[in-house]
């Protein structure tokens, strides 16, 4: 039986119009529209485009969350096995819409998704981790090249066939690490690479060193007397029993706990969830990681105005940077909303 595919295109490729029609709201039509014909030819009997979503680029760009939610609901009744978007070539808003829809469909329906874009399309940087994006030329003149490559990759994904390298498959490197068993021990691979490097022979590193975000430290707090200070930690301090089950490593969440009236973190009421260090001392006296006791003293002495009545905590042990970034951004928003003016971050 042929796989059921839903295709996403914009108003231009649907033949509705150009920029002047870019604000049309999404609609879904049975069967193929526009470039769907080329996909139909490429899929042959293996897959069938059962429906095509058409949406204006401007509408999608101005209403991303709403549009994507609407479109997911439109698609659901068609029970697709996979989703294909574009190709968008170098059209920025179209590329972003294709990427955004691929991400939404992949997350909510859990089916394979493929798009096609020119490497400099802004949609690539935004969504390459969420979808396979076939590298295309920068204009629709590349349609004949893009469509068979997209179709071929999608069919491979549908059949669960192993994929070759990004270059071999023609997609833009997603920057996602996958494990595999090699023929040789890692030790042997390392010494082999070392020998090649010593001899000046070519070698290929197994991991290209990452480039980091650098965050400039905030300027010093000028008016300490009137500061509202909050405590945030990656040392895992939480109420005894770890009620929210923050993981010992690779944390998927952070906790927010009220310390109104708490003068000291006692052994009876607090502990650590952290799995990266011997918890003996932190369990005995959690203040060694989250110094509530000292800050209460300083609050009393008037060193600053107030200790914020909530603290935020997670485990910074093997936790993915993407998770840490999300926790940080959310916690910062909450602190700002609560009028906090200074934060002490403790790590372990």
Partner 1 sequence: MRLELHRILVNKLAFGDETGVEGGVLTVNKKELLALISEDERLGKKLDVDLAMPGDSIRIVPVKDVIEPRWKIEGDGQVFPGMISDVETVGEGKTLVLSGAAVVTTGKIVRFQEGIIDMSGPGADYTPYSKTCNVVLLLEPSDPNMDKHDYETACRFAGLKTAAYLARCCAEAAGAGLKADRVEAFEHANIREAMGAHPGLPKVGYLYMLQTQGLLHDTYLYGVDVKKILPTVLSPLEVMDGAIVSGNCVSACDKNSSYVHQNNPVVADMLKRHGKDFNFVTCIVTNENVTLADKRRSSSFATKLAAMLGLDGIVITEEGFGNPDADLIMNCWKAERLGIKTALLTDEYAGQDGASQSLADSCVEGNACVTAGNANEVVVLPPMKKVLGFAEEANVIAGGWQGSLAPDGAITVELQAITGATSELGYTKLGAYTI
Q: How far is the CB of 327 from partner 1 (least distance, A)?
A: 13
**With binding defined as CB under 8 A, does residue 129 bind partner 1?**
yes
Question: For the purposes of burial, counting CB atoms within 10 Å of the CB of 242, is it exposed (0-12), middle (13-18) or buried (19 or more)?
Answer: middle
List the x/- string, 138-177, binding to partner 1 by CB under 8 A.
-------------------------x-xx------xxxxx
**What CA–CA distances, in Å, run from 330 to 102, 137, 239, 254, 327?**
25, 38, 21, 10, 5
In the window 184-203, what residues touch partner 1 (CB under 8 A)? 184-191, 193-199, 203
**With binding defined as CB under 8 A, does residue 180 bind partner 1?**
yes
**With binding defined as CB under 8 A, does residue 207 bind partner 1?**
yes
d(CA 198, CA 259): 58
Enter the DSSP assignment of 252. Answer: S
For helices 92-109 and 64-75, the axis angle rounded to 10 degrees is: 50
Q: Which is nearer to partner 1, 16 or 324 (CB)?
A: 324
Binding test (CB under 8 A) with partner 1, winner from 120, 250, 297, 329: 250
Binding test (CB under 8 A) with partner 1, winner from 37, 320, 336, 345: 320
Region at 34 (left for phi over 0; alpha for psi -120 to 50; beta for the rest): left
Closest CA to 254 of 344, 147, 329, 193: 329
**With binding defined as CB under 8 A, does residue 57 bind partner 1?**
no
Q: How far is the CB of 314 from partner 1 (least distance, A)?
A: 13
Please give the torsion angle defined by the CA atoms of residues 331, 174, 11 and 14, in that order, rounded to the nearest 10 degrees.
-150
**Residue numbers of the site for partner 1 (CB under 8 A)?**
129, 163, 165-166, 173-191, 193-199, 203, 205-212, 245, 247-250, 252, 274-281, 316-323
């Amino acid at each position: 039986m042929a796989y059921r595919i839903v295709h996403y295109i914009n108003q231009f490729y649907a033949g509705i119009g150009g920029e002047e029609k870019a604000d049309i709201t999404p609609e879904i039509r049975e069967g193929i529209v526009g470039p769907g014909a080329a996909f139909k030819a490429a899929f042959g009997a293996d897959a069938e485009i059962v429906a095509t979503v058409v949406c204006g680029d401007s509408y999608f760009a101005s209403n991303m969350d709403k549009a994507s939610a609407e479109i997911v609901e439109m698609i659901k009744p068609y029970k697709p096995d996979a989703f294909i978007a574009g190709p968008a070539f170098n059209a920025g808003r179209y590329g972003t819409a294709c990427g955004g829809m691929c991400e939404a469909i992949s997350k909510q329906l859990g089916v394979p998704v493929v798009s096609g874009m020119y490497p400099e399309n802004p949609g690539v940087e935004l969504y390459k981790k969420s979808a396979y994006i076939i590298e295309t030329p920068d204009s629709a003149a590349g349609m004949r090249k893009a469509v068979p490559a997209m179709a071929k990759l999608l069919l491979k994904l549908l059949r669960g066939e192993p994929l070759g390298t990004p270059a071999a498959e023609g997609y833009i490197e997603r920057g996602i690490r996958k494990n595999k068993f090699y023929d040789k021990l890692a030790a042997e691979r390392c010494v082999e690479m070392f020998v090649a490097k010593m001899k000046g022979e070519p070698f290929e590193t197994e991991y290209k060193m990452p480039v980091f975000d650098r965050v400039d430290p905030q300027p010093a707090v000028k008016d300490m007397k009137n500061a509202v200070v909050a405590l945030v930690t990656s040392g895992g301090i939480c109420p005894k029993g770890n009620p929210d089950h923050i993981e010992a490593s690779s944390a998927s969440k952070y906790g927010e706990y009220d310390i109104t009236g708490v003068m000291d973190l006692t052994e009876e009421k607090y502990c650590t969830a952290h799995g990266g260090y011997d918890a003996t001392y932190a369990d005995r006296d959690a203040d060694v990681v989250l110094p509530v006791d000292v800050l209460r003293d300083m609050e009393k002495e008037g060193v600053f105005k107030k200790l914020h009545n909530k603290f935020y905590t997670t485990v910074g042990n093997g936790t993915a940077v993407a998770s840490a970034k999300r926790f940080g951004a959310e916690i910062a928003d909450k602190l700002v909303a609560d009028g906090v003016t200074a934060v002490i971050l403790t790590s372990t």
